[in-house]
Amino acid sequence: MPYASNADLPENLQRLLPDHAQDIYREAFNHAFDARHGDPRQEEAAHRIAWAAVKRSYVKTAAGWARR
């Protein structure tokens, strides 16, 4: 289930991540989801890949997610 916009992301991601991190997550998820067509764990893999993409540019701090 690719996401057309950040507003389509799960509510917890919208609440936790800054806008730019949401963009990264959405784009990485959509690309990974499309690349794994037919894989029974397609969505799970896409979420893992999207989080890894966010973590390359952002780090979690006590105050929330901050750009590296």
Report the predicted TM-score, pTM, of the whole model to 2 decimal places: 0.93
Judge whether 4 lies within some domain: no
The CA–CA distances, whole Å, from 24 to 38, 39, 63 equal: 24, 22, 20
d(CA 40, CA 57): 29
Question: How many domains, the chain?
Answer: 1
pLDDT of residue 68: 92
Please tell me the predicted confidence (pLDDT) of residue 13.
Answer: 96
What tens digit of pLDDT does each residue of 3-58 get? Answer: 999 999 999 999 999 999 999 999 999 999 999 998 999 999 999 999 999 999 99
Q: Examine residue 5 and state whether it is found in any structural domain, yes or no.
A: no
In a domain, 17, yes or no: yes
Residue 27 forms part of a structural domain: yes
In the predicted structure, residue 1 carries a pLDDT above the cut 90: no
46 located within any domain = yes
Evaluate whether residue 19 is within a structural domain. Answer: yes
Q: For 13, phi and psi rounded to 5 degrees? A: -70, -40
Domain extent, residue 59, equals 10-67
CATH number, domain at 18?
1.10.1740.70
